[in-house]
């Protein structure tokens, strides 16, 4: 089993213990103990290691003994979380319980009921569930429900909950420590920091599928058409760029150099590795056949299943294509003639001076988390739609009233929202809002943890001696290089990808200035480039704001001050 563990780590690009065989044997023995104690397969162990590796932002791809203690703590936390989800009546005590018992001040907790807390008795007899706002209270009627929730909302001007600014990022990806005066600020100060002086208008560039669409009816034909359209469209863009010729059939035996376009496929179950890489061509050029790729002559690559690439090389035997050059960026976004996406998505109605400020709040689900223990038990005494209306929308109404009519709000659902359609891509919320907030609150389309999914499937190679790069940044650029919000195929188990809705809905039509990728991985804000080799590479801001609530504690969000381009933009990652 130790050899299986070693093989799984190596297939994901990690080495164990370096050149010292004694250290490697000791690490493998410890990893074997982890597998036995926590009832994990080698593949499960590697998946947990990848999450730990990315969250801790470790350097290098070598698993050293110094990492084992931290990795063990991560595994213990994962097991504890799993037990809590399975045993909903079980409470595991932590330092938060001790702090609550020792603290004599409960005014903040009573005044701001949104803060996640453990399930404990309140002075007024209410109980509060972990991970979400309270879901079970005595509410006999809808009219009383509306009045009760309205009374419970604490106005923004009276809240005293503290926010902590973790770091400020500038356009050069340099994180600076905030000053002492900036480290802690009240919620009201954060809200007042940038008051909108002019209302921005929002233009929806693409919103598919439509609310009320039919799903769970996709066929094998829909899956085939989706994959074929991606390959064929990418081949047309490669040809139109003038950087290469017309795509050829990579499966034909030839000693001459040829260019081909296809999709990266794994030749079996399990993770992709250098020995299992296949290229599937289009029906037009290769009848949809596959050929094995030999990447021995390529000193740098980053690949994952479902990625569409252009390759240069030859196929001497007809069974294996020897690659001399690999291009993983579909040529479209790097074209300087393309209009800027922000001109299509956010129209500021004419030229604005630098002192004109518009504010948009983007709030991403899940709002009514289907993983919440009370929802999983069916212990709530009201519909999910009522919970969303009174616990979420009423608070947003309070927010918009406080900041005035210039603020705009975008709500983006999640497949984990219990009150919304469980399908990906996901339609927008379809709600009848009060007339006074209809013009301020808008509904976006979908969130999916593509970063976490890609991080478990991507393999890469770098030239010998080169320092390890930014893996998270590299994964983020794949989204735009592939011009798809979800380029991974096949999707992991549990992702309800409907191919009858995916064609067009997941396509990124033009390069954005800001890319939001909410994920369970560690939050970040980065300034990235699409093509470093060009004289003026397209730069964009990519951020994972994290989750507002993490377990029984507060989470994080991002405050972004965007001003025309990345050089004039700053961002703050703020922890609650």
Q: How far apart are CA 70 and CA 18, in angstroms?
A: 19
Q: How many CB atoms lie within 10 A of CB 249?
A: 18
Whether the predicted pLDDT of 395 surpasses 80: yes
The pLDDT, as a whole number, for residue 300 is 92
Same domain for 302 and 411, yes or no, is no
Identify the helix (H) or strand (E) that includes residue 436: helix 435-438
Same domain for 371 and 292, yes or no, is no
Q: Measured between alpha carbons, how far is residue 232 from residues 196, 292, 311, 385 in Å?
A: 45, 20, 15, 42
**Does 254 fall in a domain?**
yes
Whether the predicted pLDDT of 266 surpasses 80: yes
Q: Measured between alpha carbons, how far is residue 275 from residues 239, 314, 453 in Å?
A: 29, 18, 21
Are the C-beta atoms of 245 and 301 separated by less than 8 Å? no
Crossing angle, helix 68-86 and helix 42-56, to 10 degrees?
110
Q: How far apart are CA 492 and CA 213, in angstroms?
A: 24
The pLDDT, as a whole number, for residue 188 is 54
Are the C-beta atoms of 193 and 359 separated by less than 8 Å? no
Same domain for 23 and 171, yes or no, is no
**Does 388 fall in a domain?**
yes
Residue with the bigger pLDDT between 335 and 182: it is: 182
CATH number for the domain spanning 42: value is: 1.10.8
Q: Of 325, 343, 364, which closes a domain?
A: 325
DSSP state of 79: H
The average confidence (pLDDT) of the chain is 77
Q: Is 472 helix (H, G, I), strand (E, B) or coil?
A: helix
Tokens of 336: 């300087």
CATH number for the domain spanning 301: value is: 2.40.50.430
The pLDDT, as a whole number, for residue 518 is 92
Same domain for 523 and 437, yes or no, is yes
Q: Of 277, 310, 325, which closes a domain?
A: 325
The pLDDT, as a whole number, for residue 64 is 86
Q: Of 64, 83, 102, which closes a domain?
A: 83
Crossing angle, helix 68-86 and helix 21-37, to 10 degrees?
10
CATH number for the domain spanning 461: value is: 3.60.21
**Could you tell me the pLDDT band of residue 118, with boundaries at 50, 70 and 90?**
very low
Same domain for 288 and 376, yes or no, is no
Q: How far apart are CA 142 and CA 385, in angstroms?
A: 12
Tokens of 204: 């929806």
**Does 126 fall in a domain?**
no
If you write DSSP's letter for every residue of 183-247 in order, what string do you get? HEEEHHHHHHSS--SS--EE--S---SPTT---S---HHHHHHHHHHHHHHHHHHHHHTTSS---
The pLDDT, as a whole number, for residue 169 is 57
Residue with the bigger pLDDT between 203 and 315: it is: 315
Residue with the bigger pLDDT between 98 and 450: it is: 450
Are the C-beta atoms of 357 and 194 separated by less than 8 Å? yes
Helices first, then strands: H and E counts in the chain? 19, 24
**Does 296 fall in a domain?**
yes
Quote the domain boundaries for residue 262: 218-325
Same domain for 193 and 262, yes or no, is no
**Does 169 fall in a domain?**
yes
Whether the predicted pLDDT of 203 surpasses 70: no
The pLDDT, as a whole number, for residue 185 is 55
Residues of the chain with pLDDT > 90: what percent? 32
- In this structure, the strands spanning 346-347 and 201-202 are antiparallel
- In this structure, the strands spanning 408-412 and 441-443 are parallel
Residue with the bigger pLDDT between 64 and 122: it is: 64
Q: Is 461 helix (H, G, I), strand (E, B) or coil?
A: strand
Number of domains in the chain: 3
The pLDDT, as a whole number, for residue 554 is 82
Residue with the two structure tokens 């004289």? 535
CA-nearest of 182, 197, 187, 132 to 156 is: 187
Same domain for 432 and 556, yes or no, is yes
Buried b or exposed e, range 177-195, using 16+ CB within 10 angstroms: ebeeeeeebebbeebeeee
The pLDDT, as a whole number, for residue 325 is 95
Are the C-beta atoms of 527 and 562 separated by less than 8 Å? no
**Could you tell me the pLDDT band of residue 304, with boundaries at 50, 70 and 90?**
very high
**Does 10 fall in a domain?**
yes
Same domain for 492 and 390, yes or no, is yes
The pLDDT, as a whole number, for residue 156 is 43
Same domain for 185 and 276, yes or no, is no
Same domain for 193 and 269, yes or no, is no
pLDDT tens-place string over residues 179-192: 555 555 555 555 55
Average pLDDT (451-470) is 88
The pLDDT, as a whole number, for residue 360 is 84
Residues of the chain with pLDDT > 70: what percent? 70
Same domain for 271 and 229, yes or no, is yes
Same domain for 77 and 209, yes or no, is no
**Does 143 fall in a domain?**
no
Q: Which residues lie below 8 Å from residue 424, measured CB to CB, with a gap of 6+?
A: 415, 446, 448, 486, 495, 496, 497, 498, 502
**Could you tell me the pLDDT band of residue 353, with boundaries at 50, 70 and 90?**
very low
**Does 416 fall in a domain?**
yes
């Amino acid at each position: 089993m130790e050899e299986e563990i070693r093989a799984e780590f190596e297939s994901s690009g990690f080495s164990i213990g370096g050149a010292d065989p004694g250290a490697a044997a000791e690490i493998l023995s410890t990893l074997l103990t982890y597998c036995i104690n926590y009832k994990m397969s080698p593949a499960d162990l590697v998946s947990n290691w990848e999450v730990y590796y990315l969250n801790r932002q470790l350097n290098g791809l070598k698993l050293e003994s110094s990492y084992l203690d931290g990795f063990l703590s991560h595994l213990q936390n994962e097991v504890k979380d799993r037990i809590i989800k399975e045993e909903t009546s079980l409470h595991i005590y932590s330092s938060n319980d001790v702090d609550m018992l020792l603290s004599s001040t409960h005014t903040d907790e009573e005044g701001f009921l949104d803060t996640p807390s453990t399930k404990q008795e309140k002075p007024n007899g209410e109980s509060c569930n972990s991970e979400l706002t309270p879901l079970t209270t005595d509410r006999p009627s809808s009219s009383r429900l509306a009045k009760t929730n309205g009374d419970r909302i604490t106005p923004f001007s009276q809240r005293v909950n503290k926010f902590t600014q973790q770091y400020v990022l500038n356009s050069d990806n340099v994180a600076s420590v905030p000053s002492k005066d900036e480290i802690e600020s009240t919620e009201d100060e954060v809200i007042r920091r940038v008051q909108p002086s002019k209302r921005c208008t929002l233009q929806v560039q693409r919103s598919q599928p439509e609310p009320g669409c039919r799903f769970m009816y996709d066929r094998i034909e829909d899956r085939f058409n989706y994959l074929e359209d991606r390959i064929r469209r990418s081949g047309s863009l490669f040809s139109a760029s003038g950087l290469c010729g017309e795509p050829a059939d990579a499966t034909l035996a030839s000693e001459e150099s040829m260019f081909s376009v296809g999709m990266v496929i794994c030749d079996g179950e399990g993770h992709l590795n250098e020995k299992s890489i296949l290229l599937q061509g289009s029906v037009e050029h290769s009848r949809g056949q596959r050929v094995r790729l030999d990447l021995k002559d390529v000193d740098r690559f980053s690949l994952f299943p479902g990625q569409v690439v252009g390759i240069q090389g030859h196929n001497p035997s007809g069974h294996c294509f020897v690659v001399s050059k690999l291009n993983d960026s579909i040529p479209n976004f790097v074209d300087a003639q393309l209009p800027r996406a922000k001109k299509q998505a956010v129209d500021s109605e004419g030229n604005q001076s630098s002192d004109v400020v518009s504010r948009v709040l983007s709030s991403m689900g899940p709002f009514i988390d289907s993983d919440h223990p009370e929802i999983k038990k069916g212990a709530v005494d009201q519909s999910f739609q009522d919970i969303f209306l009174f616990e979420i929308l009423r608070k947003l109404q309070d927010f918009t009233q406080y900041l005035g009519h210039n603020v705009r709000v975008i709500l983006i659902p999640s497949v984990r929202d219990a009150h919304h359609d469980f399908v990906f891509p996901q339609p927008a919320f379809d709600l009848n809002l009060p007339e006074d907030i209809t013009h301020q609150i808008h509904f976006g389309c979908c969130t999916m943890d593509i970063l976490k999914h890609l991080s478990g499937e991507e393999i890469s190679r770098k030239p010998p001696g080169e320092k390890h790069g930014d893996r998270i940044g590299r994964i983020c650029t794949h989204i735009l290089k592939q011009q798809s919000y979800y380029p991974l195929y096949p999707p992991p188990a549990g992702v309800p990808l409907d191919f009858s809705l995916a064609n067009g809905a997941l396509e990124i039509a033009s390069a954005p200035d800001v890319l939001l990728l909410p994920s369970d991985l560690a939050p970040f804000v980065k300034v990235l480039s699409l093509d470093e080799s060009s004289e003026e590479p397209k730069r964009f801001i990519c951020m994972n704001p994290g989750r507002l609530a993490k377990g029984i504690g507060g989470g994080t969000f991002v405050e972004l001050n965007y001003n025309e381009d990345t050089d004039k933009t700053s961002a703050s990652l703020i922890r609650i």
